[in-house]
């Protein structure tokens, strides 16, 4: 009806010559539900060709027998007649490639294309162990070798979606989406058996890898009420985050998810079953050449807006992780074993764990609040530290508070993940996530969260922590390893600030203190006493520049340092020049 009224107004503004010289008494306007019809007696000498030429605003005026003129509007392309034309490379104005106009002559079938180029240049240092057989530097017999490393990574991502439904006021009817990704990476390290399992190879490694990050069908089941609350189902490889900040699970998974909302969008829910995909260890992309992992995830969550107070959103969740990967070993693309981890008794293992969670995000007065709390309980069928079953009882708490003052934001961050205080009893109390990607305390600007630090001497191919991770989980790898609940846990206290120096330039600083919660497990694995809890101080800074004030071109520079505390220095006391470790980053993201 709105479209009809708009068209009536446009027709009334047309000059009389568009219809011929008409007597006002002879012109009438009829309105129907389908189109606008103008009845008139045009001049006898007005040709059909002239009428077509004079038709304004992309309205075709068709002369029919008896003098009937019918206006057939195309509301998607009506603006072209006043000079607003589509440019395929412009994502900010009307563009068929961005899903702004229907395709194939339809009224409600759309195509949306997204392209992303993500470039990373990253020099860094960290404790690198000398290879078991030999070192890359003659005359070097220390436990640790040359800690310098450089990374270059280029990722191209394309997102292709076909969507049915006019979504201005209601959800889409269905969607097919494919998101292929291609990565090229190169790493330089001057030690052996870091990049390859073969000691004969060292120095440089170049890899390329392609995969699908998304491949799903989304179907709109029904609308619930006049405000378009809905139920939908999504099947296939799809992204999922268990909470606001990615503390427990943030990944692209294979599965089925039922989701929707109620009460005018005040409630949102998810019910899902997923199986994890193996990852390419070098690029982090999904590896579809391997079978689905026997790692099952069942999850349900409920969001409530404006609870417990207006401006805050609460979420409650329950997530079950059933891992049955005890049948065959797994080896990554570089030849290193990943399942089971080469720690403890080295036996294959499986575990069942359930996470109960509560998360909060939003604003309370002037205070920005975001946090999560989890309790984990279950059973590890074969604890590698004891070679017998153990109960899993662990917990996690994270909270970030911030205050805005004009162009400034000041932040306080705190994280606590319980550690295992006795790795030889029948209880595993170290908290571990499924696949974390946390956004807190500077996130991947932080040295601790950005870099993987090898757990030298405590296992073969074991990381003290994982890349883009927070927890010291002692896994073989974050991408391909299993959760480990006899880990030392973590405490973090930090502060930071963000300064919007201009609309296109943001400067951020972060300063975090880190401690292990418990050190018994590391002492037993290293057969080393006197390991203190203090990890150290992690200080970082970054600049984010958006030329043209847009998100389509973002440049990020960051620099981070870890100044080791007593515990970190004790673990890596043979490291040369170990007064500090650094990580630099240049990240350029171009999107369409």
Band (pLDDT 50/70/90 cuts) for residue 570 is confident
Tokens found for residue 247: 């503390």
- Residue 103: inside a domain, yes or no? no
pLDDT at 30: 40
Determine the structural domain holding residue 71 and report its residue range.
2-82
Can you tell me the mean pLDDT for 276-285? 94
Span of 53-57, 474-478, 585-589 with lowest mean pLDDT = 53-57
Band (pLDDT 50/70/90 cuts) for residue 457 is low
Q: Check: CB of residue 202 under 8 Å from CB of residue 136.
A: yes
pLDDT at 75: 65
Buried/exposed code over 251-288 (b: 16+ C-beta within 10 A; e: otherwise):
bbbbbebebbbbeeeeebebebebebbbbbbbbbbbbb
- Residue 90: inside a domain, yes or no? no
- Residue 334: inside a domain, yes or no? yes
Span of 63-77, 98-112, 184-198, 574-588 with lowest mean pLDDT = 63-77
Picking from 190, 185, 113, 117, the residue whose alpha carbon sits closest to that of residue 152 is: 185
pLDDT at 40: 41
Output the domain CATH number for residue 469.
2.40.160.100
In this predicted structure, the answer to whether residue 351 has a pLDDT above a threshold of 80 is yes
More confident residue, 218 or 195: 218
Can you tell me the mean pLDDT for 230-249? 97
Q: Same domain for 372 and 237?
A: yes
- Residue 87: inside a domain, yes or no? no
Q: Same domain for 75 and 115?
A: no
Span of 81-90, 151-160, 281-290, 436-445 with lowest mean pLDDT = 81-90
Q: Same domain for 113 and 66?
A: no
More confident residue, 19 or 376: 376
pLDDT at 549: 87
pLDDT at 22: 39
With a pLDDT cut of 90, the percent of the chain lying above it is 62
Characterise 447 by phi-psi region: left (phi > 0), alpha (psi -120 to 50), beta (else): alpha
Band (pLDDT 50/70/90 cuts) for residue 73 is low
Domain-ending residue, one of 42, 63, 82 = 82
In this predicted structure, the answer to whether residue 262 has a pLDDT above a threshold of 80 is yes
What's the DSSP call for residue 12? Answer: H
Q: Provide the domain count of the chain.
A: 2
Report whether the peptide linkage leading into residue 340 is cis, meaning its omega lies within 30 degrees of zero.
yes
pLDDT at 272: 98
Can you tell me the mean pLDDT for 526-542? 92
pLDDT at 527: 85
pLDDT at 525: 87
pLDDT at 78: 72
pLDDT at 412: 98
Domain-ending residue, one of 41, 65, 82 = 82
- Residue 99: inside a domain, yes or no? no
C-alpha–C-alpha distance, residues 289 and 428, integer Å: 34
- Residue 528: inside a domain, yes or no? yes
Element at 412 (helix H, strand E): strand 408-417
pLDDT at 144: 65
pLDDT at 62: 44
Q: Same domain for 575 and 447?
A: yes
pLDDT at 186: 95
**Any idea what the Cα angle at residue 506 is, between residues 504 and 511, rounded to 5°?**
175
In this predicted structure, the answer to whether residue 289 has a pLDDT above a threshold of 70 is yes
More confident residue, 38 or 149: 149
Q: Same domain for 63 and 202?
A: no
In this predicted structure, the answer to whether residue 59 has a pLDDT above a threshold of 50 is no
In this predicted structure, the answer to whether residue 63 has a pLDDT above a threshold of 50 is no
Picking from 379, 419, 587, the residue whose alpha carbon sits closest to that of residue 514 is: 419
Mean pLDDT of the chain: 85
In this predicted structure, the answer to whether residue 487 has a pLDDT above a threshold of 80 is yes
Band (pLDDT 50/70/90 cuts) for residue 304 is very high
- Residue 92: inside a domain, yes or no? no
Can you tell me the mean pLDDT for 559-563? 96
Span of 148-152, 201-205, 525-529, 586-590 with lowest mean pLDDT = 201-205
- Residue 96: inside a domain, yes or no? no
In this predicted structure, the answer to whether residue 24 has a pLDDT above a threshold of 50 is no
Can you tell me the mean pLDDT for 98-125? 92
Picking from 358, 413, 375, 395, the residue whose alpha carbon sits closest to that of residue 244 is: 358
Can you tell me the mean pLDDT for 193-214? 85
More confident residue, 14 or 244: 244
Q: Check: CB of residue 269 under 8 Å from CB of residue 257.
A: no
pLDDT at 83: 74
Q: Same domain for 223 and 74?
A: no
């Amino acid at each position: 009806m709105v479209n009809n009224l708009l068209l009536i107004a446009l027709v009334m503004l047309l000059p009389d010559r568009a219809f011929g010289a008409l007597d006002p008494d002879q012109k009438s306007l009829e309105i129907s539900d389908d189109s606008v019809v103008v009845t008139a007696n045009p001049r006898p000498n007005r040709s059909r060709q002239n009428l077509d030429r004079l038709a304004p605003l992309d309205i075709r005026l068709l002369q029919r027998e008896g003098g009937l003129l019918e206006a057939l509007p195309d509301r998607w392309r009506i603006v072209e007649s006043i000079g607003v034309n589509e440019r395929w490379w412009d994502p900010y104005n009307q563009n068929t490639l961005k899903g702004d106009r229907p395709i194939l002559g339809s009224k409600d079938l759309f195509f949306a294309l997204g392209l992303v180029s993500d470039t990373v240049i990253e020099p860094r240092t960290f404790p690198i162990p000398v290879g078991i057989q030999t070192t890359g530097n003659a005359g070097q017999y220390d436990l640790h070798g040359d800690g310098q490393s450089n990374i270059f990574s280029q990722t191209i991502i394309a997102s292709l979606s076909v969507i049915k439904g006019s979504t201005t006021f209601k959800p889409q009817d269905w969607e097919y989406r494919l998101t292929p990704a291609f990565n090229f990476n190169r790493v330089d390290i001057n030690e052996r058996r870091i990049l390859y399992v073969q000691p004969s190879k060292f120095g440089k490694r170049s890899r390329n890898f392609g995969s699908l990050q998304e491949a799903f069908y989304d179907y709109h089941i029904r609308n619930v009420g006049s405000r378009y609350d809905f139920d939908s189902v999504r099947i296939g490889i799809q992204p999922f985050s268990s909470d606001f900040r990615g503390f427990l699970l943030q990944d692209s998974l294979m599965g089925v998810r039922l989701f929707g909302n109620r009460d005018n969008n005040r409630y949102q829910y998810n019910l899902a079953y997923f199986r994890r995909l193996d990852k390419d260890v070098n690029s982090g992309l999904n590896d579809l050449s391997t079978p689905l992992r026997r790692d099952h995830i069942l999850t349900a969550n409920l969001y409530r807006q404006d609870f417990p107070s207006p401006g805050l959103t609460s979420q409650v969740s329950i997530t079950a992780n059933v891992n049955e990967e005890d049948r065959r070993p797994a080896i990554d693309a570089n030849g290193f074993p990943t399942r089971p981890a080469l720690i403890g008794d080295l036996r294959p293992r499986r575990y069942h764990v359930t996470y109960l969670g509560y998360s909060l995000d939003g604003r309370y007065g002037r205070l920005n609040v975001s946090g999560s709390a989890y309790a984990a309980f279950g059973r590890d069928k074969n604890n590698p530290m004891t070679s017998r079953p153990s109960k899993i009882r662990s917990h996690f708490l994270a909270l970030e508070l911030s205050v805005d003052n004009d162009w400034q934001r000041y932040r306080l961050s705190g994280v606590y993940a319980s550690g295992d205080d006795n790795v030889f009893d029948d209880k595993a109390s170290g908290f571990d996530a499924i696949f974390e990607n946390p956004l807190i305390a500077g996130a991947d600007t932080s040295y601790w969260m950005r870099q993987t630090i090898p757990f030298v001497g405590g296992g073969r191919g074991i990381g003290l922590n994982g890349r883009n991770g927070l927890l010291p989980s002692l896994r073989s790898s974050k991408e391909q390893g299993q959760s480990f609940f006899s880990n030392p846990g973590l405490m973090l206290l930090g502060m930071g600030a963000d300064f919007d120096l201009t609309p296109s330039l943001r400067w951020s600083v972060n300063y975090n203190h880190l401690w292990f919660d418990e050190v018994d497990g590391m002492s037993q694995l290293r057969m080393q006493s006197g390991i203190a809890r203090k990890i150290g101080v992690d200080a970082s800074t970054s600049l984010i520049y958006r030329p043209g004030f847009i998100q389509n071109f973002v440049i990020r520079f960051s620099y981070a340092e870890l100044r080791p505390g007593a515990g970190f220095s004790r673990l890596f006391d043979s490291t040369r020049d170990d007064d500090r470790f650094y990580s630099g980053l240049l990240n350029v993201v171009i999107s369409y």
